[in-house]
A = this chain, B = another copy of it.
Amino acid sequence: MAIPRAAKTLRRTRIQEEKEEQILEAALDVFSVSGFRGSTIDQIAEVAGMSKPNLLYYFRTKEAMHRALIDRVLYNWLEPLRAFDAEGNPESEIRSYIRRKLEMARDFPRESRLFANEMLQGAPHVLDMLKGPLKELVDEKAAVIRTWIKSGKIVHCDPYHLIFSIWSTTQHYADFDVQVRAVLGEEHSGDGRFEDAARFLEQLFIGGLRPDRSGS
């Protein structure tokens, strides 16, 4: 007899561990491309290499699968911003934040697209997280940036839009990968474009945020 679902979470079997991992991996593949509505359990089942009812044995609904996936992916996704340090000097902090975010775009493009899809749809499943934990984290980092501005280490600017612009420019290489490849052409479709992007973005942000040099 199948155990009640509640009990399952009390002690996890090795098989549970493995299969849930396997399912979420497949779910990431599918959800990141087609979004929640556009994805089907059958698709995910096929990618995961198991039957649909078997997926539903581990996750009762498509929603539950999606939620588990997002929960799992969210923490790591915010890691680079969390690492943003008030003690370091602005130039190296911004440089390394850009590097980290670009590495994430290169190494975890599906995770980036998963969130992008969620945003496009109005963030129905993560809106609370955006307004709560994310906003708090960003507020905190914005305060750090403001101290840099006040001490004259970087130019006077809006810290929120600064953060947005780093997010957007870096995630672009994951979310709009097809477009980037199409425009750069086949010959620049190796990972080299990430190095080029890093060079450009560091130059842009470091140059654009450098203080002194009077009027705009």
**Chain A residues within CB distance 8 Å of chain B:** 32-39, 113, 116-117, 119-123, 127, 130-131, 134-135, 138, 155, 157-158, 160-162, 164-165, 167-169, 171-173, 175-180, 182-185, 196-197, 199-210, 213, 216
Contact = CB atoms under 8 A, between A and B. Distances in A.
Contacts of A196: 158, 161
Contact of A161 (B113, B179, B200): B200
Q: How many copies of this chain does one complex carry? A: 2
B37 A34 contact: yes
A209 B216 contact: no
A203 B155 contact: yes
A209 B33 CA distance: 35
Contact of A204 (B120, B165, B197, B202): B165
Contact of A116 (B120, B122, B155, B201): B120
Contact of A207 (B36, B135, B158, B208): B208
Contacts of A32: 120
A202 B199 CA distance: 20
A179 B209 CA distance: 24
A178 B119 contact: yes
Q: Give 4 nearest A-B pairs by CB, closest first.
A: A37-B38, A208-B208, A38-B38, A168-B172
A82 to B, nearest CB: 15
Nearest to A186: B131
Given A35-B117, A116-B116, 10 more contacts: A119-B176, A120-B120, A120-B175, A130-B183, A165-B201, A168-B176, A202-B216, A206-B216, A207-B209, A213-B213
A34 B117 CA distance: 9
Given A122-B178, A127-B182, A175-B119, A204 B205 contact: yes
Nearest to A172: B168
